[in-house]
Amino acid sequence: MPQRPSRTAAKRPVHASVPPAAAVFAALGDETRLTLVRKLTTGPPRSISQLTQGSKLSRQAITKHIRVLQRAGVLRSIRQGRETLCAFDPKPIQAAQAYLDSLSEQWDQALSRLKSFVED
C-alpha cells in the first residue's frame, strides 16, 4: 500500500512510471489480455510459448497482446536465454484501482449533495 503513484493521477506526470488510467483500462479491455493477466497474477513469470499454450491463438497474436500489456505497464518481460519471461507488475493496476475509487467517491459525494438538497 505504500505506493507512490499520485493518487490524484490527473496531473499527467511526464515521467509517468505508470501510463494514464485510460491506457491501463484499454489494455484490460480485452478477454484475451485479461486471461493473460490472470495467468500471471496467479502464477510465476512465464515465457511467451508457455503463455501461448492452451490458447487458440498463434504465438504472434499472444505476443502482440503481451506488448499491449507491456506498453500499459501491466507486464514486464526480460529475455532469459532464448526465452522471454513475462511477469506481472501491480503498479498500473493499483493506479487503476485508485482511479475507480476516486470515481466512486465523487459519485457518493454527488449523491450526498443531492440528498441534502432534496431534504431541504
* Residues making contact with a copy of itself (CB under 8 A): 1-3, 20-34, 37-38, 41-44, 56-57, 88, 90, 93-94, 96-97, 100-101, 103-104, 106-107, 109-110, 114
Q: Applying CB under 7 A, which part among 13-21, 64-72, 92-100, 112-120 lies near DNA?
A: 64-72
Q: Which span (35-43, 58-66, 87-95, 105-113) binds DNA, by CB under 7 A?
A: 58-66
Which spans in 6-47 are helix H? Answer: 21-28, 31-42
Is there binding between residue 35 and DNA (CB under 7 A)?
Answer: no
Which strands sit side by side in the sheet containing 46-47, from one edge to the other? 46-47, 83-88, 75-80
Sign for the pseudo-dihedral over CA of 44, 48, 50, 52: positive
96 burial type by CB count under 10 A (0-12 exposed, 13-18 middle, 19+ buried): buried
Among 6, 17, 41, 61, binds DNA (CB under 7 A): 61
Residues at the contact surface with DNA, assessed by CB under 7 A: 1-2, 4-5, 30, 32, 47-50, 52, 56-61, 63-65, 68, 77, 79, 81-84
